[in-house]
Amino acid sequence: MNDSPADLRAVGDVDPVTRHEVRRLAVRDRGPCVSIYMPTHRFRPDIGEDPLRLRGLLEDAHARLCALGLRSPRAWEVLAPHRELLGRLDFWLHQSLGLALFAAPGFHRRFRVPVPLEQEVTVGSRFRVRQLLSLPSGDEQFSVLALSPHRVRLFAATPTTFAELPLADVPGSEADALPFDDPERHSHTRSPLGRSQRLHGHGGDDPPQAEELVRFLAAVDRGLRSALGPDRGPLVVAATGPDVDAFCRVTRQPEAVVGRVEGDPARWGLRELHDRAYRAARPALEAERLAAVRRVHEAPDEHVLVDLAEIARAAEQGRVQSLLVAASSPFGPWAGDTLDQAIAATLGHGGTALAVDEVDLRSGSQEPAGAPVAAPCAAAVLRG
C-alpha cells in the first residue's frame, strides 16, 4: 500500500454508498430521474467554486426537465432539496472530493464521496449510477469499528482513504448505551461471555459487568445497521481480543466481520489504525472482484457476453449473474442509456455489477483467432 500522506485520508466528510443504495437508485423507474455528478473541494478558497458549479448544473437539469414537459415551477420543485444547498455554507465546508445528487418527484438522495467525480447531468426514465460503480464500494470499501475504553468510532475506509462517520444512532461509550438499549430485546439476549471483560481491559467474574458489556455491544450493532444500511459490507473490528469475540457473538451479522485488529485503537494514530485495518480486510476486499473477473475468464464462451445490446437484453431477462463495467471506458449517449438499463436489470434480478480495470475484461473479448484483442466496455457472465 502507498503510504504517501497525500494519498491517505484526505477525504473530508463522506457518506457511505452501500450496495443497497446503488440498487435502490438503479431499479427506480418512476421518472423523470435527475442524476448530477460533480467534483468538490475541501479547503478555502476553492470551496467557493462548488456552489457556483452546482447552480449551473441545476439550471441545466431544470432546462432538461422543462424540455420533457414539466412546467418551470414543478421542475424547480423536483430539484428543491438540492437547490437549497446553494446557500448553506455549513454544507460546503464539510465536503469530500466528489458529490452525487439524485432527484425525482418525491425522492432525493445525495452522497459526498472520497474520489473526484466527472461532471455530468442526466435526466431520464431512470437514474444513471455508472459512476457509483467506480466508487470504492462493495469489493473495495469497508468499515472499521473502533472500540476504545470510553469511545466508539466508525470509519468508512478504502485501501487509500479513511474517514470518520457520524454516530447518530451508535452509542459513543458504555455510559451512552443506556438510552439506546431495548429492554424487551435484551431480555431475550443470551450473554456471549463466559468471563466478562470490560472495555478498559480489566478482567472479572461479575455477571452485571458481562451483561452491561453485552447490552452496550448490542446497542452498537443496532446503530451500525442504521448507519451503514442492511448490506453493511465488510467490517473490521478493532478492540481488545475479548471485546472482538464478544461483538462477533452479539452482532446479528457475524458474517460481515471479515477481520479483527486486536489492541486498544485509542493508542494508535489514524494512519496506523487504517494500515492495520486494511491488512485485516484485504483478503475479503479482493475476493469478490477477483472471483467475478475469474468467472469472465473461465466461463464457456456461450456464457459470456461483451456486446452491450446483448448484455442489456439478457439482463432484462434475468440471465446475468455478474456484470463487469470498465471503469475508464468512454460511453456515448446511446451506450450510456443501454448500460444504465443493463445495470438496473442486473441488480433488479439479484445479480452483481462491478467496475473493473479494462485489462480485467480483455480476455473476455470474443475476437477471431489472431486478431488484436480489444478490451470491451463491459462483460456479463450468464447464469447457469
pLDDT tens, 252-270?
Answer: 888 889 999 999 999 998 8
Residues 130/144, Cβ–Cβ less than 8 Å: no
The answer to whether residue 67 scores a pLDDT higher than 50 is yes
Q: What residues does each domain of the chain span?
A: 19-133, 142-285, 299-382
pLDDT tens, 113-136?
Answer: 878 899 999 999 999 998 888 776
Which cell numbers in the block locate residue 143? Answer: 468499515
CA 153 – CA 165 distance, rounded (Å): 8
CA 367 – CA 196 distance, rounded (Å): 62
Residues contacting residue 10 through CB under 8 Å, at least 6 positions apart: 42, 161
Evaluate whether 19-133 and 142-285 have a shared fold.
no
CATH 1.10.510.10 for domain 19-133? no
Average pLDDT on 84-105 reads 93
What percent of the chain lies above the pLDDT cut of 90?
36
pLDDT tens, 23-35?
Answer: 899 998 888 999 9
State which of 43-57, 62-76, 216-230, 256-270 shows the largest mean pLDDT: 62-76
State which of 197-201, 207-211, 283-287 shows the largest mean pLDDT: 283-287
Q: Please state, in angstroms and as integers, the Cα–Cα distance from residue 242 to each residue in 56, 187, 199, 233, 272, following that order.
A: 54, 22, 9, 23, 21
pLDDT band at 164 (very low <50, low <70, confident <90, very high): confident
Q: Where does 299-382 sit in CATH, by number?
A: 3.30.1330.30
**Residue 159 or 131, more confident:** 131
Amino acid at 60: D
Amino acid at 5: P
The answer to whether residue 187 scores a pLDDT higher than 50 is no
CA 57 – CA 188 distance, rounded (Å): 52
pLDDT band at 11 (very low <50, low <70, confident <90, very high): low
- pLDDT for the residue numbered 172: 66
Amino acid at 71: R
Q: Is 64 helix (H, G, I), strand (E, B) or coil?
A: helix
The answer to whether residue 271 scores a pLDDT higher than 50 is yes
The answer to whether residue 281 scores a pLDDT higher than 60 is yes
CA 217 – CA 220 distance, rounded (Å): 5
pLDDT band at 315 (very low <50, low <70, confident <90, very high): very high
Write out the DSSP string of 327-362.
TT----HHHHHHHHHHHHHHHHTT-EEEEE-HHHHH
Q: Is the peptide bond before 207 cis (omega within 30 degrees of 0)?
A: no
The DSSP call for residue 73 is: H
Whole-number average pLDDT of the chain: 80
Which single residue is written with the C-alpha cell 429492554? Answer: 183
Domain 142-285: CATH class, spelled out: alpha beta
Please give the model's pTM, rounded to 2 decimal places.
0.65
- pLDDT for the residue numbered 139: 45
Residue among 313, 297, 312 nearest 366 (CA): 297
pLDDT band at 195 (very low <50, low <70, confident <90, very high): very low
